Amino acid sequence: MEALNELLKENLKPIVNKIDTDAYYPKEILQLLGDHGYFHSGLLPYEETVRREVKVVEEISKFCMTTGFNVWCHLAALTYVRHTSNKAFQSRLLPELEQGHTIAGTGLSNPMKHYADLEPIHLDAESVHGGYMLSGTLPAVSNLRDGHWFGAVAKVHDDKRIMVFINCNDEDIDRKEKKAYLGLNGSATYACRLDQLFIPDDQVLAEDADAFISSVRPYFLVYQIPLGFGVIQASLRSIDMAKKKQGGCNDYLPIQSEDLEKPLEKMQHSLEQLFKDQKSLEWNDLLPIRRDAAYEAINAAHTAMVHVGGPGYMHNSAPSRRLREAYFLINLTPTIRHLEKMIELNKEPVLQY
């Protein structure tokens, strides 16, 4: 990760404030990562590819979690294309996605909530000659700019849902950018309304979305966990940098960096063990790590604000940005409420650490 760190110092660090305060979308960073092979699956076993990509998201999120989130969106979309049985579409688009020449988002917030019995599917699909006609609205799809793609699930009837890949340039998609969030306004997030959008058969990723989502959702989740890890580590750096200020009085504060390091190390160890012990990642085992990464990110960001003091209260300060980033993690699907419900209702044993 040393080479990646240097790449980010040179190219991402100078634009972090622009991303945060001006809602600047860092497309060039995603393209740069693709150019340098950080999305390339190559000849590695699939779980090793995912493991490496998790580390990439973590490293990026130390600098800027908005950019880390955009990379998560792209990796989630990559996961869908990597797993589809539509080999013609896969062979056409996967190289473009892995090279960063084509960028994509997820569009799966609604389906993930649907499969947890939280809301109905928002898109309807009608089977027509050569494909499907889609209509409906997705309230928020991130990592979208002109020419980008995103995955989506649509309901054909009560017993059938399909998963498709959509190019957001289609004239039958009405996009409205959403930039009134507390943070992450550089994430290129749009409300997308589809009005009789024709999706040809060759853009259908799965005719059985229920089974397909079950197979890809562990990767959807695992790429989110390092967002929290990155924020925690950056917050720890802020705490340590403030240690000697005002005569070292921070030593008297009740929470110190070592108190935050221990839970981080436990979460990192647990995730590493899953990669070592399992042939494929399991959704149930990842849920508590994802939940705790969000809680610990909030705790670390809050503690950094306390340790840094007045300078952290400035609008453009890194600690205040991380506080807003951390609160995004509890609202990112699966939200903290969603996670707590699934963990509580889960009849399968979950990993304890």
CATH number at residue 139: 2.40.110.10
Residue with token string 């991303």: 19
- Whether 247 and 192 map to the same domain: the answer is no
In a domain, 219, yes or no: no
- Whether 248 and 137 map to the same domain: the answer is no
In a domain, 30, yes or no: yes
In a domain, 352, yes or no: no
- Whether 186 and 293 map to the same domain: the answer is no
CATH number at residue 58: 1.10.540.10
Number of domains the chain is built from: 3
- Whether 316 and 289 map to the same domain: the answer is yes
- Whether 111 and 98 map to the same domain: the answer is no
- Whether 180 and 270 map to the same domain: the answer is no
Q: Alpha-carbon distance 93 to 109, whole Å?
A: 22
In a domain, 66, yes or no: yes
Q: Residue 278 has what pLDDT?
A: 77
Q: What confidence tens digit (pLDDT) does each residue in 258-315 have?
A: 999 999 999 999 999 999 987 789 999 999 999 999 999 999 999 999 999 999 999 8
- Whether 231 and 339 map to the same domain: the answer is yes
Measured from the Cβ of residue 33, the count of other Cβ atoms closer than 10 Å reads 25
- Whether 260 and 324 map to the same domain: the answer is yes
Q: Residue 351 has what pLDDT?
A: 52
Is pLDDT at 62 greater than 80 in this prediction? yes
Of residues 349 and 188, which shows the higher confidence score? 188
Average pLDDT over residues 155-173: 96
- Whether 182 and 120 map to the same domain: the answer is yes
What is the three-class DSSP state of 181? coil
Q: Residue 1 has what pLDDT?
A: 84
Is pLDDT at 9 greater than 80 in this prediction? yes
Average pLDDT over residues 9-20: 98
Both tokens of 267, joined, read: 């979460």
- Whether 235 and 245 map to the same domain: the answer is yes
Of 65, 83, 103, the one marking the end of a domain is 103
- The residue segments making up the domain with residue 25 are 2-103
Residue with token string 């693709």: 34
